[in-house]
Each structure stands twice: as structure tokens, then as C-alpha cells.
Amino acid sequence: MSTRREFLIGATAMVGGSLLGDFAWGASSTTLVANTLPEPAGLAAGSTPANPTNVVSSNMFDGLVTYDEAFRPVPQLATSWTESVDRRTITFRLRNDVKWHDGTPFTSADVQYSIMEVSKKVHPIARPTFAQIVAVDTPDPYTAVFRLAQPSPVIWSYLDTSSAFIFPKHLYAGTDPLTNPYNAKPVGTGGFIFKEWNRGNYIRLVKNPDYWDKGRPRVDELIFRIIPDASARSIALQNGSVQYAPLTPVSLVEARRLEQNQNLVLDTKGWRSNAPMFFMDFNLRQKRFQDVRVRQAIAHAINLKLLAKTVFYDFATPATGPVPSYQTRFYAADTPQYPYDPQKAEALLDAAGFPRGSDGVRLRFNHLNHTYGEDYQRAGQFIQQQLKRIGVEVTLVNYDLPTYLRKIYTEHDFDTMNVFYAAFADPQIGVIRRFWSKNIISGAPWSNGSGYASPEMDRVIEAIQTEQDPDKRTQAIHQMQVIAQRDLPSISLAELKFFRIYSRSLQNVNTTPIGVYASLDDVTIGASAHG
């Protein structure tokens, strides 16, 4: 069995460039300096639904609603809403005093365009979540009426700006929303206005003086620094040059040390709605991975308990399927499992026609590491070491985020990959997108990247989307997990525990379940804890 020492000796140190880079702004009572990592591929969450984008985008764009501590909807662009008795019509009354940052009035036409032309067509999460929405009517500029084929309670968990993203129709209609140039220079409705993106260095937002929520933002500028090196991020947090870092910003062993720093807060509350899961996907377009025995062998060869301990420093627990075990309402405990058993793994590869060659190697393939930090690269190294023992030679490939997304979701140019996904509050929002064949959308990140297509799975997923009896719907969710574990288009590796770190000088940091995706417009900066 591998030891932590053995694994860490094999890990590669990744240090590049100067630690803190070239940066012109310092934190002050009127300038809030945050961090996002890695550098986003775009700045509009509706077209680039990834965490590095979400944490920036939510400051420039509002949603129809936001959520409180109990995950109940709170008015934002919508002032109120009503639901018909048959629950097939939801009427939103919209604010009449909101303007896009270019001065164009916000209206119901923006809502209609965003839901019907973007969310339902190309967004990898909204597409299955909003499957029951058949139309959005606009009887007047400040009323949007959602028409549903069947009641769909899950919609109420997916209406904030990181989810049901509202685009400016006048800038997007008639274009490809995934490649529109305004994805890199956003025009939103939120408390902060896009000012500058100095690629590789920082993203600068400034206060919207005409924001409808009077008194906000509380600071004049919001800067997101791009700091690729984890050691540099740790230094910046400790010396106060970065005050807010929401995306698990330091190595996990370093996080354990920073927990003891009296000037910093390490907090997991803002991640509660995300429910992050870590998995390994196969490219099922390749013949060698179409034999389930090959996928089963690889699953049996990875020691998930050791992965959680040596790579994630117990900021994770072994996964048993695509739904996290703490979501007891939906979790299925009786799914097929693949316990660590290298001998069984070798026997499965023999049976699948992959005996060891004269060099001891049965199979060779590339493995794309997720780009969100060193921990994912160390996870790739762990997988590489584990599979080497059963005669599988893995070459690790590391890209920047835009290339990683293009290789997987547009070009399908990968063998296997590791990635985390958000399961969210309901499997219909976060889980089924990975297994629904109708969610194989070229160019759409975080969709069905493996190319998995199963008529049986599709029927179960569509039952989840339409079933009105709660017990029968839960049964369908359980069946989805059984099929996913049986067919094994991907290996569920770990239930992750994400965190953010911020200065104790910050006040009013959002601690709701969507806190990491919420705007920083209410944050104020007190006396510096760093002197």
C-alpha cells in the first residue's frame, strides 16, 4: 500500500514566475481585493458556467432571485411571484427601475431570451433543470410568465444569477452566446461594473453609481487578482494583499495551518448548495473504454480511502456513487461498488483482452487533470501511481482552463480526465446532466463530456424531470444511481469539502448556502488585522 510519504515524494512541485506578480492596487477601506482561480475562461456565468467565472460574474449580474440562509428565494430582479393552482404557471413581477450598465432598460424580454434561447438550448445544467419550461410569455415589459408542461419544483432551487443567468438581449440576440465578445467585457445589471481585464494579472470592477439597490455596493472597487501559485496565494492572504479567496485557494495541508491564523477565517458555509463531487471520466467514444470491464478494472485499482487521506488531507470522503451520501433524501446506498482490489482489476483486464506485454504494460492512455489547483494535479499523480501497479501506463496532461474545456467538450480530444462537479441541492440540477444523452452538447462546458448514451438511463432521467409523486421521483433518482454505477461511464472518487478563506476585517460576508456565488456588494472592510 502507498504511504503519504511515498506519494508526496512522487508529487511534482509547481512554482512558476514571481510569487505575487505585477499588481497596482492595494487593499483599503474602499477597495476590496479578492482572488479567483484559475483565471476564468470568460466573465459571464451564463455562457461560461464555471466557478472562476461565477465568483466574478455574480458581482456584475443579478438573478431573478437570490436565497436566504434557509435556501428560500429572496427578491432580486423579480420583486414578487405567484404560482398557479396547477403549478404549471409561474408569474414573475420584475423591477421597473433597473438598467443594464450601458443604460438600456432591463425588461421581461431579457428574461425570455435568456431562459428560452440560452438556458434551455446550450446551458449544461439549466437545460435538464428547465426541461419542463415550454415558454416564457412577456405580457408587458415588467412581467415574465413561465409556462410549464408539468409542475417542476426543482426550478425554485435554480433561479439565482449563477443559475438562471439573465443576459442583455440587445447585446446577445442573433449571436452565439458561447462565443459572444461581451462574455469577456460583460454588461450586467449588478452592483459592480466591468472596468478592465488585465489577463494573467487581475480583473477590475468598479461601483455602479446607479444600482437599484441603493447604498450598495459598500466599496468603490472590487479587484480579482490572478495568482497561479498556491504559495503566493497563501502569502497574499496572510499579509492582507488579498482579503477574500472563495475557491479553496491554498493547498489542503496549508489550509490546516491557516486555520490557526487569528487574522483569517476558513469557512465552508458558502459552499453548502454546491455539494462538490470529484470523479474520473472516460471518453466512451474510444473503443477500448466501451468495454465495461476495462472501466471496472480501473475503478478497482484506485484506493479511494487513501486518495481522500493523502491527496485531500481529509477534506474529502470516499464517494460511493454520483450523489453525495449526506443528501439522505436522494442517496441510494444499494448501488454496485468497486472496492480496492488490484488482483480483481488485473483479472478484469485479462478478460477484456488487455494482458501485460513484454514491458509489463497492458494499456496506455492520457489523463487530463482538472485545472482548479494543485490538489487536482496531485490526484492525477495518485491515479497514475495506482494504475501503474496493474500495468496501466498513464500520461498526465495539464492545460489552462480554456484549453481543458475545449479538449473535452468541443474536440473530445482526451482519453480520461478528472474533474469536480457540483451536485447541487437536487440531482436534477447537478447530477443528471452528466448521464443524459440529450445533454451531449458540443462546446458546452460541464455537460455530458464522456459521450455516455443509454436509452434506459434517458428514460429514468426523464422520469425524474416529470414525475409528480415525490416517492416515485425518489425511486427514479435511486435507479439513476444504480444504472450509473453499473454502467460506470465515470468513477465517482470523492465527496469534497470546499472552503473559502477571508480576512477577519471583512464584514457582511454572505454565509447563505450560495455564499460563494453571491455578490460582494454588501461587504465592508473594517480595521486591518494586519496592522
Q: What is the DSSP string of 237-256?
A: HHHTS--EE-S--S-HHHHH
Alpha carbons 381 and 403: distance in angstroms, whole number:
20
**In terms of Cα–Cα distance, which of 229, 250, 233, 255 is closest to 14?**
229
pLDDT band at 25 (very low <50, low <70, confident <90, very high): low
Residue spans of beta strands (DSSP E) within 381-503: 392-397, 416-422, 490-496, 500-503
Q: What is the pLDDT at residue 11?
A: 39
d(CA 407, CA 415) in angstroms, rounded, equals: 10
Domain with CATH 3.40.190.10 in the chain: 22-56+190-269+499-525
CATH code for the domain defined by 275-496: 3.10.105.10
Q: Any idea what DSSP says for residue 270?
A: G
Residue 83 has pLDDT above 80, yes or no: yes
Please compute the mean of the pLDDT values over residues 410-429 and round it to a whole number.
Answer: 94
Beta bridge partners of 221: 31, 206
pLDDT exceeds cutoff 80 at 520? yes
- CA atoms of 436 and 92, how far apart (whole Å): 30
Largest CA distance in the chain: 73
The H or E element containing residue 266 is strand 264-267
pLDDT of residue 372: 86
Cβ within 8 Å of residue 473, ≥6 positions away: 463, 464, 467
464-499 residue pLDDT tens? 998 989 999 999 999 999 999 999 999 999 999 999
Count CA atoms closer than 13 A to 514's CA, side-chain side: 26
User: Is pLDDT above 90 for 21?
Assistant: no
The region that residue 103 occupies, defined by phi over 0 for left and psi between -120 and 50 for alpha, beta otherwise, is: left
What value does the mean pLDDT of the chain take?
93
- List, for residues 145-191, the tens digit of each pLDDT value: 999 999 999 999 999 999 999 999 999 999 999 999 999 999 999 99
What are the residues whose beta carbons fall under 8 Å from the beta carbon of 417, sequence distance 6 or more?
A: 280, 281, 367, 368, 369, 370, 404, 408, 449
Neighbours of 171 (CB within 10 A): 17
The three cell numbers locating residue 422: 457540483
Region(s) of the chain under CATH 3.90.76.10: 65-172
* Average confidence (pLDDT) over 210-238: 97
DSSP secondary structure string for all residues of 132-197: TEEEEEEEETTEEEEEESS--GGGGGS-STTTS----HHHHTTS-TTT-GGGSS---SSSEEEEEE
Contact 379, 369 (CB under 8 A): yes
Q: Beta-carbon neighbour count of residue 132 at 10 Å? A: 17
Q: What is the mean pLDDT of residues 392-421?
A: 96
Name the segment(s) of the chain with CATH classification 3.10.105.10.
Answer: 275-496
DSSP state, residue 406: I
Q: Is 180 exposed, middle or buried (0-12, 13-18, 19+ CB in 10 A)?
A: middle
Neighbours of 506 (CB within 10 A): 18
**Which residue is it, cell 490546516?**
256
Q: Which amino acid is at 2?
A: S
* Average pLDDT rounded to a whole number, residues 309-326: 94
Backbone φ, ψ for residue 344 (5° rounding): -65, -35
Cα-based torsion angle of the residue sequence 276, 279, 284, 287 in order, rounded to the nearest 10 degrees: 180
Give yes or no for residue 40 having a pLDDT over 50: yes
How many CA atoms, within 13 angstroms, populate the side-chain half-sphere of residue 444? 24
Please report where in the chains the cell 438581449 appears, as a residue. 169
User: Is domain 22-56+190-269+499-525 annotated with CATH 1.10.10.10?
Assistant: no
From the CB of residue 482, how many other CB atoms can be counted at a distance below 10 Å? 15
Cα torsion through 178, 180, 186, 187, rounded to 10: -120
Enter the DSSP assignment of 517. G
- Fold topology of 65-172: Dipeptide-binding Protein; domain 1 (3.90.76)
Within 10 angstroms of residue 439's Cβ, the number of other Cβ atoms is: 22
* Percentage of residues in the chain having pLDDT higher than 90: 86
For residue 375, pLDDT beyond 80: yes
Query: Can you tell me the distance from the alpha carbon of 500 to that of 259, in angstroms, rounded to the nearest whole number?
Result: 11
The yes-or-no verdict on residue 530 having pLDDT over 90 is: no
State mean pLDDT over 347-370. Answer: 98
